[in-house]
């Protein structure tokens, strides 16, 4: 090795999607790592992190490596390849800093780290300087074969793995001369793949498996697939042996993961296992959810996205209460689901709070099968909550016939503001401090722009157990535009049993006093705080200078 280091880079194979297909070794190393790194596209949703979520622990550093471009165009002077190469160099440099400091880094990879994986690009750039280890994972080929329920090859047969990005004529030729094939990287390449299957005479023997091992798994004859419905995470299989049993086409299924036999030192509490794949239903309904949810497949139901309000049941609107009463299924983050009284005739699908798109897809799939689904959010569902996620996924072709409604709720910002008066009485902005779905530089630019525009700001998601530094960074950005005596309202668990509301100044804002259940309101230059016999009152004047 060319330099001394005590940190180890681990390439962790997570398997195809189901958290229960993560190996014992992978789970142990994820939990033990000082740094957990994972990739995503610019939308910020990392499939790898969602799979690994049950095995993470508090206190770990997370390195979110966001691709600058996937299928979009780029103005990078080196084109697509130049942008990607520069990204890999920057990502490797970020990981090298941790390794050089003696921190072990677990770089997550869906499937296997050395099988069409992003891990190999980091390995090439770091393995000559740091100790590395590879934990193999179940590949999507194996998962798709299991979903198909038939052998891929037997005896002396040869399996060829092909990328769907190959030219159609080359793909056709390779399919003609192999016993069995697995074609990866579908998505927008599927029309060409179908053409190659047809030209090679293999289309009638080909099968399509989408999101193998996940709650959105689909198995179809390749000839029956609609080109518009094919995601990147799909695979086409051409088995070598003739199937001895029929392979029925089936649509996405809802699965319940049984974790009772899992090692308690590795497995998460079942409600954390949604990730991209597992669904937890409340114990009183158990495995009946799938049977009941698929009973009316020919009559699409609907999805209603509701906001419960910030905490007090009195803040839940009658319209939302009515929708909850009519729902056959409730879908949402465990904490919010638990706020809704249980009913024996209503199925509950609770999950972790970091799997919005997967949760949305599950709700839409249940509705597609006839269920009346209420997706439960706190506050207002359209404010940093589930409405946008549901609508985004509902735009996919397979959900085009599912009706989606959004019912408003009282926002946390308005609830906190009411406790001290009217700090949002004039123009204001809402900004989430979380950099999980957008990079911090975007957050900082927005904070600076709004502060420079002299508007009050409601700050959502200011901190969490793993994300502590952003509040201090926010304060520093705002102090470039706001006076240190600017009023700041800290509202924690407003409407809940541990409610507390304080008013401090921006200069004395202590980041350690802020957690994920806190909402901040930062005043503008026209915001005034004054003491009364019943506590500090705050308002932002509607009059601005000599205007209005």
pLDDT of residue 281: 33
Task: Please tell me whether residues 33 and 132 are part of one structural domain.
Answer: yes
- The pLDDT score that the predictor gives to residue 227 is 81
Same domain for 183 and 276, yes or no, is: no
For position 398, which CATH number holds? 3.40.1010.10
CB 373 within 8 A of CB 399: no
423 and 405 in one domain?
no
Q: What is the pLDDT of residue 504?
A: 96
Supply 206's token pair: 């080909």
Name the 3-class secondary structure at 256: strand
243 found inside a domain: no
Q: What CA–CA distance (Å, rounded) separates 539 from 476?
A: 23
Same-domain status, 146 and 184: yes
Cβ atoms of residues 122 and 91 within 8 Å: yes
Query: Which of 410, 438, 467 lies at the terminal end of a domain, its last residue?
Result: 410
Cβ proximity of 347 and 279 under 8 Å:
no
Claim to verify: residue 404 and residue 418 sit in the same structural domain? no
CATH code for the domain of 225: 3.30.950.10
Q: Are residues 524 and 457 in the same domain?
A: yes
The Cβ of residue 167 has, within 10 Å, a number of other Cβ atoms equal to: 10
Question: Based on the domain organization, do 15 and 120 belong to the same domain?
Answer: yes
Closest CA to 254 of 205, 283, 218, 202: 218
Say what the pLDDT of residue 249 is: 59
Residue 262 lies in a domain: no
Which sign, positive or negative, has the C-alpha torsion 290, 296, 300, 304?
negative
Domain that holds residue 25: 8-136
Task: For residues 423 and 406, state if they share a domain.
Answer: no
Q: Are residues 275 and 402 in the same domain?
A: yes
Q: What is the pTM of this model?
A: 0.50
Report the domain count for the chain. Answer: 4
Q: Which segments in the chain show pLDDT lower than 50? A: 1-4, 252-297, 546-548
User: Can you name the residues that pair with 375 across neighbouring β-strands?
Assistant: 305, 331
Q: Which residues pair with 23 in a beta bridge?
A: none
Q: Which of 102, 136, 170 is the last residue before a domain boundary?
A: 136
Claim to verify: residue 45 and residue 146 sit in the same structural domain: no
Tens of pLDDT, residue by residue over 2-47, are 444 579 999 999 999 899 999 999 999 999 999 999 998 877 778 8
Q: Which helix (H) or strand (E) holds 322?
A: helix 318-326
Helices H / strands E in the chain, number of each: 15, 24
Domain match, 284 and 325 both: yes
Span 405-456, pLDDT tens digits: 999 999 999 999 999 999 999 999 999 998 777 888 899 999 999 999 999 9
pLDDT reported for residue 71? 55
Q: What is the pLDDT of residues 263-274, one digit of tens each?
A: 333 332 222 223
């Amino acid at each position: 090795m060319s330099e001394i280091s005590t940190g180890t880079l681990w390439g962790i194979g997570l398997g195809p999607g189901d958290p229960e297909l993560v190996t014992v070794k992978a789970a142990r190393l994820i939990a033990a790592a000082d740094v957990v790194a994972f990739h995503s596209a610019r939308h910020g949703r990392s499939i790898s992190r969602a799979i690994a979520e049950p095995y993470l622990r508090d206190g770990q550093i997370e390195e979110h490596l966001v691709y600058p471009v996937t299928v979009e165009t780029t103005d990078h002077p080196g084109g697509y390849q130049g942008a990607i190469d520069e990204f890999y160099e920057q990502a490797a440099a970020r990981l090298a800093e941790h390794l050089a400091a003696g921190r072990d880094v677990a770089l997550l990879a869906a499937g296997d780290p050395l099988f069409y994986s992003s891990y190999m690009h980091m390995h090439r750039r770091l393995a000559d300087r740091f100790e590395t280890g590879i934990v193999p994972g179940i590949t999507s080929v194996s998962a798709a074969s299991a979903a198909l329920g038939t052998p891929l090859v037997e005896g002396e047969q040869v399996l060829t793995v092909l990328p769907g990005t190959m030219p159609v004529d080359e793909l056709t030729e390779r399919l003609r001369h192999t016993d069995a094939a697995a074609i990866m990287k579908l998505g927008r390449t599927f029309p060409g793949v179908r053409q190659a299957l047809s030209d090679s005479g293999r289309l009638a023997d080909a099968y399509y498996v989408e999101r193998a091992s996940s709650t959105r798994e689909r198995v179809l004859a390749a000839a029956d697939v609609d080109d518009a419905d094919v995601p990147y995470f799909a695979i086409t299989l051409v088995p070598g042996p003739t199937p001895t049993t029929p392979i029925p086409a089936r649509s996405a299924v809802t699965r319940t993961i049984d974790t009772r036999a899992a090692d308690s030192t590795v497995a998460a509490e079942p409600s954390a296992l949604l990730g991209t794949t597992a669904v937890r239903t409340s114990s009183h309904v158990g495995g009946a959810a799938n049977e009941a949810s698929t009973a009316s497949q020919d009559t699409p139901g609907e999805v209603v996205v509701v906001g419960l309000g910030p905490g007090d049941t009195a803040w839940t609107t009658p319209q939302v209460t009515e929708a909850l009463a009519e729902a056959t299924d409730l879908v949402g983050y465990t904490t919010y689901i638990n706020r809704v009284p249980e009913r024996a005739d209503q199925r509950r699908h609770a999950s972790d709070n970091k799997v919005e798109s997967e949760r949305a897809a599950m709700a839409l799939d249940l509705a597609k099968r006839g269920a009346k689904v209420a997706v439960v959010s706190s506050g207002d569902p359209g404010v940093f909550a589930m409405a946008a996620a549901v609508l985004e996924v509902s735009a996919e072709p397979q959900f085009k016939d599912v009706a989606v409604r959004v019912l408003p709720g009282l926002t946390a910002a308005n609830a906190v503001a009411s406790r001290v008066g009217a700090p949002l009485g004039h123009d204001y902005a809402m900004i989430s401090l979380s950099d999980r779905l957008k990079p911090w530089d975007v957050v900082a630019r927005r904070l600076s722009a709004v502060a420079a525009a002299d508007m009050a700001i409601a700050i959502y998601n200011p901190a969490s157990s793993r994300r502590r530094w952003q509040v201090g960074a926010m304060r520093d950005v705002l102090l470039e535009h706001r006076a240190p005596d600017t009023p700041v309202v800290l509202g924690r668990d407003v409407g809940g049993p541990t409610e507390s509301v304080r008013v401090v100044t921006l200069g004395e804002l202590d980041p350690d006093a802020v957690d994920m259940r806190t909402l901040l309101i930062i005043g503008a230059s026209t915001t005034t705080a004054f003491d009364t016999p019943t506590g500090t009152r705050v308002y932002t004047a509607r009059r601005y200078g000599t205007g209005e």
